[in-house]
Structure 1
Amino acid sequence: MGNLVFCGGCGRQQPQPVPAQCPFCGAKPVGGKRYKQKSIAGVLALLLGGFGIHRFYLGQWWGVFYLLFSWTFIPGLISLVEGIVFLCTDDERWDARHNQGAVPGQGDSGALVVVIVAGLLVAVAMIGILAAIAIPAYADYMQRAQMTEVSAYAQQATVAVTAHYTETEQIPATLAEAGVKAPLPQGLADARIDPESGVISLTFGSGGGLAGKTLHLLPQEDEDGAIQWLCRGKGLSYNILPRWCRGSPDEEEV
């Protein structure tokens, strides 16, 4: 009984092998199993095999294991070999193993829909994965670019303030008083110094990933009385701080 195939149009039993059209009513497709094309299975295995799409096309539920472990890239390597094997398999052996009486043209439209839907789902998944990787990487790049631009101005300010303090033994009231006359870089919205503590505060402007955040440059005297600068900022990652003033990661943030 398992080998009996009936027409989807008139319901009459079909001869073996199953014809592409019912010999009694001419209906197409004839009821029964879907014909699985070797070429489609091979191409799916080569291009999308890492997600088990070729196994779903062949009606094998265990393709879900390919999908679950696709992140290991092992299913991709396995499916690459399977795709080559599929394409090199003799047509008779292929039909005997995967079609069992189904003939070309039988259920092809449904198979095409499955392939298209599977391809779209994989494409959406790949776009999502690429976006998840690219967006944070781009944001990190924008932050580092803005920090690099501001870092050059920060070094100029610290050198000027250090020189002013060394000569006068007083903290300048403004950066301009210390001799910092260069215009602010594009990535910087405001720059000022605290005349009491000597802390220089640089507020980032728009046009970068650090808009609104503030970089604080803290003066510290070493054992020889020389001024060293430590940079910190609330909300600023330690790894993004300029190397010349980064200091130790366990230093307290401002």
Structure 2
Amino acid sequence: MKNKTLAAWLAFLGGPLGLHRFYLHGWRDAPGWILPLPTLLGAYGVLRVQRLGVDDQLSWMLVPLLGFTIAGCALTAIVYGLSSREKWNARFNAGADEQAPAGGTNWFTILAVAAALMVGTGILMATIAFSFQHYFEYQVEEGRAISQ
């Protein structure tokens, strides 16, 4: 039986590493193995920002990968937490009754959804702001280089 609350917390806390995918689909799940790649590339971008500063072009291209991956996993946690008991059990507990308790919602599920909503939204907005700011600064610098 796959528990909806546990899946929501795994998607929120361990989603960028694919933990929720492995819990729900097993170790042979290809997206679960691919999901850590943008996370690691984004983390490498953060390390480059710390070492080389925010003007490093490769770092401002890599950092959004981490932010969008975290925000996407937070959205997945929200979707898991808000799915109905019947839909959850039909999808992830196929042999069980529609009203099986594993697909139920409790306060820990609601806390996972609320935390994912707050953190995911904040990270998504910060990632968009960071990306657009550095992209437009780059465009301005290129325009200046062409005009001179």
TM-score by length of 2: 0.44
Q: Which has the higher helix share?
A: 2
Q: Which has the higher strand share?
A: 1
Structure with more contact order per residue of length (Cα contacts < 8 Å, sep ≥ 6) = 2
Q: Name the larger-Rg structure.
A: 1
